[in-house]
Structure formats: C-alpha cells, structure tokens
Structure 1
Amino acid sequence: MGHIMRLWVLSSALVETLLFSGCLLGWNSLSPVLRDMGVMSQDCHSDPEQSGAWSNRSAGGAQHIPSADLSLFLPFALMAQGLGGSCVLFSSLMLPQVLEDVGSLYSALVMASFTASATVFTIFKVIFYAGVPMVPIILGYGAMSCAMFLNCTLCWSLNPTGKEDENIYSVRLRLNCYEAVNKKKPQEAEWCQKSLKHKFQESLKDRERILSQRRKLSFKRPDVPAPSPLLESLTSPTFTLHLLSDSTLLTWIYFYVASVNLHLHSQMDDPDQPDLYSSVFGALQMLGLFTAPLISILLNNHRIRKRARNSGLTTARNSSRRACSIKRLSAIYALRCLVVICFGISCLIPSLNVQVVSFILHVIMRTSMFLLSSTLYLCMFPSPHFGALIGINTFISSILSLVQYPIFLLFTGPLESDPFWIHSVFLVLSLAAVALPLHLTVKNNRQHPHPLCRPIPLRQVTPPTKT
C-alpha cells in the first residue's frame, strides 16, 4: 500500500469513527426533536402548556408532527446504531495492527473520535431547528454512511502491507565437513572435495528418496516459558478490581447523563434554557479530541506497546521498563480516582452551572476508560490474553449497565427525580477504586524491589591450600 493510500485510510477511518461510531449517549440531544415530531407521544401525559412550550421553541418553523407509527422504529434504530457503531470503532482500532509503523497515538485519536461522536446528534438538532425537516437530515446521513461503505470496500486491501511471503520460511543445511575442507590448503581442499564427491556419490543420486523420508522438522525454544492460562488472568486480583471499578464508573456515567437530561426537561420556566445547556453539553463532547491524545502521552503508551513487541531485549532492561510503566500507570489511576471524586461531589450540587463542570469531568473519564484498560492489560498480563480481557471487560460492563432500568424506576418513583442519594451511593462505591492503584504499587514493589532493599549474596571463600 502506497504512502498516500495509507494516509487516506487512516484519516478517513478517523472521520468515519467521528461521524458513525454511534455513541448512544448522544441520543439525549435528539429527545427535544423527537418530542416536537411526536415520537413516543402515546407514552407521555397530555399537558397543553408543556406541548405549547416545546413547539414554540422551534426557531425555524419546525412543527409538531404526530408520529403514534414512527415510535416503533426507535428501539430498532438504537440497536442498529449501537451494533454498526461498534463495528466502525473496532475496525478503526485494528488498523494499527494491519498497517505497520502506526503509533499508539492513533488508537488514542480513534477513542477521541468515538467520545466526540455524540456531537453529531447535537448538530442534527441545530440543523432541525434551523428549519430543515428531519427526513432529509436522516437521508443525508444515510448517504454518507453508504459512502463510508464504498470507501472501506475500495480502499481497504486484504493484504495492505504487501508482504505475501512473510509466512514462508526456509531452512538451509550444510555439512560441517565442507567447512573443514575450505580451511585447508587449495591443493588439499581440491583433493578432499573429489574424495567427498566420490564418497557421497551414491547418496546424492538417491537424495530425493532420502529427503522425502523426513519432511517435517520440529524446532523448540527452551528459553521461552509456557504461557499462563487465561483463567489465571481472569481470576487475578488486578483484573477483578479493574472490572469492578470500570463497571461501577460506566453505570454511574449512564445514569448521570440520563439525570441531567431529565433535569434539563424540567426547566420549563425559561424555554430557551434547556436548549442552551443541551447545546453546551453537546459541544463539550469535542473535548475528547484533546483529552484522549493527552492521556495517551501521559501513559507513555507507545513505549509500552514497543516493549511488548520487542521480546528480544534482555531480561534486566525488560524488567526495568515494565516497572516504570507500572509506576506511571499507578499514578494515572490515582489521578483518575481524584477526578472521579471531584465528579461525584459536583454531581451532588443541583445547579446547571456546576453540572457543566461535571460534564467536562465525565468526558475525561469516558475518554480515559479504554486507554487505561488497554495499558493495564499490556503491562500486567500476557500479550495473548489482551483481546480476551478487553472483550470480557466490555461484555460484563455492558451487562451490568442493565441495572439502569431499576435505578431509573427508583429515581423517578420514591426519590421523586432527586438524584442526590443515587449519586451519593455511587460516590461511596467509587472510593473502592482507590484499591487498584494501591494494589499495583504494592505488586510492583514486590516484583521489582529497590536496589538498596535487595539482599546481598554472600559467598564463602575457601582459603588456598598450602603445597
């Protein structure tokens, strides 16, 4: 693949991730549009004042269109958006594995584009209130997705590196006696070559039969230890603590976005205030384009991936680099715990101005989750387990997000739409995440103690014997 084609594939993958990765959190920006169009109106209570307030907010002449039929397609649209967006995201994340010399900073840019993809729905809302009907907007978005499909089909080659023969190996054998012959004098070497030719003449005539008897050669590297089983990594305290902290944080983030959205809809005293804050929150998603590369640089991710690939380094250098990576990772996890605590405290304050700060912290946490997870798995676990651990982490976190429904029932029922106690419980649960950086620090000190703390080996010297 040429240089220009590589640049086009990488840049277009970032744009496609930004536009089509399907961040479902952005659907909250479309809820005012869906209300104006009458979607899900059969499940809402009839309130003439509120419906009039919503319809009067339409600046460009958007009208209240009854849609009791379009509501049936909304769950399927959400499922299709999530499934297709996941395919786009993970396809872009696999590009550094397919193309050579692509740094880990590109993976951070992919995650940044995924985090900022929720802004697309805010742009839809702005275009809709500018007077453009929703059907042309959706059709134009679908045409862009078809262009993405054509781009992937035409530009993504099945073998982009151009190394068709990289899996073909050859073994070259030679006789030791021939090397001994070359070291002799020219006259003796000529005589020895004639002697060898006469000696092995019969064997050389039958070389095909001799070589056909042993076509399989087995090679063994005794220096490479046997890989540890996957179950050992899954049951390790490191993976368990990380899974619990990430699942709790992801569930909290989902509830926070839903509660902020409901809080915006309840501000009906000033009809323009929900629109203003909704647009501000949607624009703040673009912060992910800056926070993800910054977090990747702080993690020193490119050196960690290079260390994982260069297995030919000496044991001492590998051990020291791994110790430095774990120290840096522990510090970043401790910093994230501080951000989570600040986020929880700001969530307890019922003010939209303070929630702007909370939303910024929420974007930082969302952006850092995948980067921290991948770095942790590269540092602490065998490289063959990386894909399985990422997949299991994503699956379990998604399963635990199903508790959103009972939490929402508790929020809208007994708590009367007051998220204070739910945020308080999540804040207390998130304090347990401090155990992960402490565990990493203790484990790193045990495996790589300070040189002054290492025992000095003593060797008994026997006195020389007198003759």
Structure 2
Amino acid sequence: MFGNVRSIILSLMIGSYASSAVTFPGVKLIYDLGVSFRIIMWVWSGMACTVFINCFLNWPGESFPAPEDIRYTKKVKMSGVVTEDKMTGDRYVTNVTVMEDMMGSKQPDPEQTDSQSKTQVTLWHSVCTPIFLWSLITMAMTQLRLIFFMGAMNKMLEFLVTHGNPNPSEELQKEKEEQVGFYSSIFGTMQLLCLLTCPLIGYIMDWRLRECEEENANTQTEKSQSDPSKRDRKIQKLTNAMRAFIFTNILLVTFGIISMIDNLHIQLVSFVLHTIVRGFIHSCCGGLYAAVYPSNHFGTLTGMQSMISAAFALLQQPLFILMLGHLNGDPYWINLCLLIFSLAGFLLPGYLFYHRRNLIRAKAECDRLAAIQSDKENAPLTQTDSGTAKSKAKGHSANGY
C-alpha cells in the first residue's frame, strides 16, 4: 500500500503509537484533581475494549498486497510484421497488435503459482539473514538505552538536584520534589514530538524512490537499456536505510553524551533527543523490513524483533539496582557504559554499506553482460543492412557505366 511513500505513512503510524505516552501525564493530572485511580483504570479498560472490538469488526477479508505484488501487475504484449523498403533499405513495423493481460488474485495461473511457491523466500531464510540479525543487535541496544533512561529518570534528576547528598536539608528535599515533578511533566508532554518528527525519518527512507525503476526483472532489463539514468530501486532502498540508521545512531550517541552532563537545564535537550530516537528507531527498522523482506514476512519479523529487544531491555532492572546500591544513585558510569555500547548501532549501516556495494557490482556486471548480448543480437542486422547498401551501390555503379 501507499506506493513510494510507504515508509512515510509507516513512520507516521509509529509516531502516533510512540506519542501515545503523553496520556500518562494526563492520567496523573486527572488523579491529582481528585479522581479515583480505580475509576481511571475502569475507563481506560473500557477504551481498550472499544479498540479491540473495532479491530475485530474491521478485520480485512484478505491481505493487502504490496505495490509490487503480482496481483497488481499488468503485462502488455506487442506484435507486428517487419517490412523492408527495397528502394531505401529502411525497415518498418506494420500491423501492430497490442494485447493487455491483467493478472488478478482470484484465479491465478496454476503453473505460475507453482513456480512462485518454489522461488518464494521462507521465513527462516529471512530470519537468518545478516540484516535481520544486525537489526536485532541494534534494536536491543537502543531499547535498553532508552528504557533505562525512562525508568531511572526520576532518580537521575534527584541526583542532579542533591548532587548525591544522602541527607538533604528540608529545603533541598522540597526543591528536589518540585524539580523532579516539573521535569517529569515536561518529559511526558514531549512525547508528542514523536508524531511530529517521525515523518522525517520516513521521508529519508523514501528518498528518490519515484526516480527508480521497477523491481520486476523483465522490465528492469528493458528500462536499463532504454534509460540508463534510472536508479535501481533495491539499491536506493538500502542507501536510504543506511542513511536513516546512521542519522538515528548519531542522535543516540549525542543523547548519551548530553545525559552525562551534570546540568539540570541541559537535560531538556536529552529529553528531546530521547523522544526523537524512540520514534526514529522503530521507523527505521519497519522501513528496512518493508524494503528488504517479502511483505508476508513483515509482521512476523517486526513482532520477533520487538519481543527479543523487549526481553533484552529487562537488563535495565539490574542496572537500576546497581545504580541505587553500589553507585549511591550516581548514573555516570552506567551512562558511560551504555554510551560505549550504543556505538554498536553503527554495525548495521556498516553492513548495509557492504551489501549495497556488492549489489552495485552485481548490477554493473549484469548491465555489462546485457550490453554484450544486445551487441551480439544487433550485429547480424547491421551486417545485413551493410550488405544491402553495398549491393545497391554496385547496382547504381553498373547503371552509370
């Protein structure tokens, strides 16, 4: 669905999901106004049931095919008769017949279906690819980094206010509670930035896809010969994904550096970067899976990645205990270790660069072989034309004598 803006729409949906965390400050505000927590939870449960019923009633009867799905392709066949002008030697195509074949999903060709089932990529093959395995490492690292910050944020803010003083004065204690409450509310409100910033990473993932040739093997050869300036769609998708992950990881490293600065006001910048990265990383992975893997594997791969990264993010609990216990509430060393660990996020774009280079070499070799084959096919026609021209020249010379 959505053609060349698929990643933009996907990132917009992910941004709306990520920005839903802004409801928690709203719930806290309602609770502070005197509404019972039990009433809030009952209303929340009722709204969740409404969403479930809506999804159940509006369940589609069949899957939505991707734009390159065979159910939406169209074949156009042209046939004609080649005639040659005996006087000039020029060739013309006459009696051109155009036959249009629409390929539908309800009655597929049995032979075609069998050939597709043999060449179809299995789920296990998609899971074992280096791109998916590197994405698991990247997502696990990023999730641990982001979730630890969210879970330990109040304690980190308290440490910035008290500077590790175990017995703060009454005035300092009051200031600590006010500052933590104030900055926590700002952090919750900033979750709306996910909805505003996520389309940017989707735009990066969809960059220049309109200028690319189709991924169909038959049309690709024809277009590469007729219009060499066309971009290869698969290579362009990998290039966009590589740039998106590099940009996201730069923001993540910057966030890690700023979170180590002992300044309460500077942490507002870390709040912004945390919110942006949280939406960007899911959009990057979703766009990468949609670009590289078959559409019928997208949901399974996304769910598997979310499950594994969420399980790895459970390590935040021992890190939180270590910070409160042995480190006396000082998050500096944990933030430093997580900052170094976050550099592993550049491994995935590094592999994408390597994979993209191999694809460029393979495409150049295919274009070279196609050009050689085209020259061989055109050689007999050229020889025939030259022979005809020579015979005509001899005829004219004989008439002249």
TM-score normalized with structure 1 length: 0.57
* 209, 219, 238: which one aligns with 1:314: 219
Query: What is the CA distance between 1:302 and its match in structure 2?
Result: 11
Shift of 1:221: 6.3
On the 8 A contact 2:5/2:206 being kept in 1, the answer is: no
Q: Which residue number in structure 2 is paired with residue 336 of structure 1?
A: 248
Give the structure 2 partner of residue 20 of structure 1.
none
Q: Are the aligned partners of 2:235 and 2:360 in contact in 1 as well (CA < 8 Å)?
A: yes
Letter paired with 1:274: V
CA contact (8 A) 2:253 2:339 kept: yes
Structure 2: give runs of 5+ residues left out of the alignment: 64-70, 72-108, 162-172, 225-230, 384-401
Contact 1:104 1:302 in 2 (8 A): no
Asked if the contact 1:104/1:301 (under 8 Å) is kept, the reply is no
Aligned length: 309
Asked if the contact 2:20/2:191 (under 8 Å) is kept, the reply is yes
Q: Distance in 1 between matches of 2:145 and 2:262?
A: 17
Distance 1:132 1:427, change over 3 A: same
User: Any conservation in 1 of the 2:7–2:203 contact (CA below 8 Å)?
Assistant: no
Between the aligned partners of 2:51 and 2:123, the Cα distance in structure 1 is: 37
1:189-204 → structure 2 map (5 Å cutoff): none
1:123 aligns with 2:26: yes
Partner of 2:181: 275
Deviations 1:272-320 (A, max 9, x none): 222211111110011011112222122118959x999x75872346981
Q: State whether structure 2 residue 282 is matched by structure 1 residue 370.
A: yes
2: CA distance, partners of 1:443 / 1:303: 19
Aligned residue number for residue 58 of structure 2 = 156
SS of the residue corresponding to residue 117 of structure 1 reads: helix
1:239 aligns with 2:132: yes
Change over 3 Å in CA distance of 1:389–1:137 after alignment to 2? closer
Indicate yes or no: 2:155 matched with 1:262. yes
CA displacement at 1:232 relative to structure 2? 3.3
Shift in Å at residue 400 of structure 1?
1.0
Q: 1:296 aligns with which of 202, 218, 222?
A: 202
In the alignment, residue 116 of structure 1 is paired with which amino acid? S
User: Any stretches of 5+ residues in structure 1 without a counterpart?
Assistant: 1-95, 162-168, 170-216
Change in CA separation of 1:134 and 1:292 when aligned onto 2, cut-off 3 Å: same
* Greater strand share, structure number: 2
RMSD across aligned C-alpha pairs, in angstroms? 3.9
- Describe the shift of the 1:331–1:107 C-alpha distance in structure 2 as closer, same or farther (beyond 3 A): closer
Deviates more, 1:318-327 or 1:245-254: 318-327
Q: Secondary structure at the match of 1:348?
A: coil
CA distance in 1, matches of 2:316, 2:220: 47
Encode CA deviations 1:352-378: one digit per residue, 9 max, x unaligned: 222211111111111112221122122
- Change in Cα spacing, 1:352 to 1:223, as seen in structure 2 (3 Å) is same
The 1:340–1:432 alpha-carbon spacing in structure 2 relative to 1, beyond 3 Å, is same
Whether the 8 Å CA contact 2:140–2:312 is kept in 1: the answer is yes
Distance, in Å, in 1 between the alignment partners of 2:122 and 2:55 is 36
1:392 and 1:295 map into 2 onto residues whose CA distance is 22
Identity of aligned residues (%): 27
Greater relative CO (CA pairs within 8 A, separation 6+): 2
Secondary structure at the aligned position of 1:351 is classed as: coil
